[in-house]
Structure 1
Amino acid sequence: MSVAEARGVPLRVLSYNIHSQRDDTAALAAVVRAAAPDVVIVQEGPRRFRWRSKSATLAASFGLVVAAGGPPSLGNLLLASLRVRVRGTRCQRYPLTPGRHLRGAAYADCQVGGVRFLLAGSHLSTDPAERPAQAAAFKRELAAATLPVIAGADLNEGPDGPAWRTVAEGLTDAALAADRADRHTYSCADPRRRIDALFVDPRITVVDYDVVDTPQARRASDHFPVLVDLLLPVAG
């Protein structure tokens, strides 16, 4: 085992609300490709007519492949590089509040460098009355995982909100771990809030964290992407 392997297996993660690809899609692809992630956790991905081909086209524009998600998870999409092996997937739908949008989550059992982890993504409601129950449903799945968890989400509230605290409990907030919680993720036009987060199992080391704020990112979506470098724990 090399010295690097003894410390952990590196993994680069991007979590990104892509605003249903309503903005500059060429800029969107350029932002993701420049980040060179191993996995991307997408919110507001393709979820309606021809969603499979649209998801595949989106992934290809990033230089990645589809791992999990789509309409069964209501627009949450997990993408992966060929470095990552996907061993299993599942989707979750939160209970529907009449008159509101459906929300859900996507999960993938992944492996890289001989290390397995659970990749998860969700997008909570804009309605503060709905978010706590959705956060609790997401958290139950994360808490039941036997693998180290990597969870990216657009929580639609900041760290002082109850839904955020529910999801964050027992996990490491990557921004706090890197002492960069002052980096706002929304909106690109007027960034004043951190509502997009990446949470990881405490056994996972946060090496670096960034909110990608570039001219291209400001054209690509209404959210900035969260980019995190991790070291996954090696057993033994």
Structure 2
Amino acid sequence: MMLVQEAPTWWGTRRKRRAMAASFGMRYVAASARNAILVADGIELTGIRGRRTWRPFVRRRLDFIATQLPGGTVGGVVHLGSTRVAVVVCHLGLHPRGRIHELAQILSLCNSFGTPYLLTGDLNEEPDGPIWKRLAEEGLTDLGADAGPTFNSSTPYKRIDGALLSTGPTRTSSRNALPPLTARLRHVPATREDLAAASDHLPMLVELSLSASD
């Protein structure tokens, strides 16, 4: 499964995204704004939900004033054995205070699935910022705490992308609420030149697995 920010848009949006997915041997299944989810054969994404997120239309930095494209977040549920987990992708804006309001909308969508969830995306903020603090307060585990910088892909110097896992997963086949999920984030096995050609951010590879007891 691939969770994409800044997917192709404007004219021929769906055609472009389907072509992008096909180039990876995957299917384009869901999107909101410029966030998209692609899946490989054999993976079914159910209960898909997307939401446009409010963000300030204008942002200011020093003497520079610019507009922002609309925000959005999208997710769905996959099954790992008897465990249901939602996967959600987002892309926060460049307005510092606006990101707080966006995050509240995103967490509302995440919690609406009623399952443990993996939240990924470009948070446009380093880990000492208020967004990361709010996610920690929500009980999410930062999977990339030791992963190193993610931006930019040519000469990475800061981490502004996140992959965070909620706690307390439940099982569909049992009342036992012990967490059966484990997760880790690792680097994508590709050359720096290829990664820089693909995006201005480094990708994150998240591996979710069930505990041996499941």
TM-score if structure 2 supplies the norm length?
A: 0.80
The reply on whether 1:85 has 2:47 as its aligned counterpart is no
| Residues 147-188 of structure 1 deviation map (CA, whole Å, 9 limit, x = unaligned) | 120111100001111122223431111123xxx24x110011
Cα distance, 1:53 vs structure 2? 0.9
Paired residue for 2:5? 43
1:1-236 to 2 correspondences below 5 Å? 39-69=1-31, 73-99=32-58, 100-168=68-136, 169-176=138-145, 180-181=146-147, 183-202=148-167, 203=179, 204-210=181-187, 214-232=192-210
Counterpart AA for 1:50: G
Cα distance, 1:222 vs structure 2? 0.5
Q: Assess, with a 3 A threshold, how the Cα gap between structure 1 residues 96 and 130 changes in structure 2: closer, same or farther.
A: closer
| Residues 24-65 of structure 1 deviation map (CA, whole Å, 9 limit, x = unaligned) | xxxxxxxxxxxxxxx111000023211111111111111111
Point out 4+ residue stretches in structure 1 off by more than 3 angstroms.
112-115, 232-236
SS in 1 for 2:149: coil
Q: Assess, with a 3 A threshold, how the Cα gap between structure 1 residues 221 and 98 changes in structure 2: closer, same or farther.
A: closer
The CA distance in 2 between the partners of 1:232 and 1:48, in whole Å, is 39
| Residues 100-134 of structure 1 deviation map (CA, whole Å, 9 limit, x = unaligned) | 32111011122344542211000000121211111
Higher gyration radius (CA)? 2
Cα distance, 1:96 vs structure 2? 4.1
Name stretches of at least 5 consecutive residues in structure 2 with no aligned partner.
Answer: 59-67, 168-178
SS in 2 for 1:77: strand
The CA distance in 2 between the partners of 1:51 and 1:186, in whole Å, is 26
Counterpart AA for 1:163: I
Which structure carries more helix by proportion?
Answer: 1
Paired residue for 2:62? none
Counterpart AA for 1:195: I
Q: Assess, with a 3 A threshold, how the Cα gap between structure 1 residues 101 and 208 changes in structure 2: closer, same or farther.
A: closer
The CA distance in 1 between the partners of 2:213 and 2:45, in whole Å, is 19
SS in 2 for 1:198: strand
The CA distance in 1 between the partners of 2:69 and 2:184, in whole Å, is 36
Counterpart AA for 2:196: R
Paired residue for 1:28? none
The CA distance in 1 between the partners of 2:92 and 2:140, in whole Å, is 18
Name stretches of at least 5 consecutive residues in structure 1 with no aligned partner.
Answer: 1-38
The CA distance in 2 between the partners of 1:233 and 1:48, in whole Å, is 43
How much identity, in percent, do the aligned residues show? 31
Considering Cα pairs closer than 8 Å and 6+ residues apart, tell me whether 1 or 2 has the greater RCO: 1
Alignment check: 8 A CA contact 2:25 2:40 kept = yes
The CA distance in 2 between the partners of 1:156 and 1:97, in whole Å, is 15
Q: How big is the alpha-carbon RMSD for the aligned residues of Structure 1 and Structure 2?
A: 2.1
Aligned residues: 191
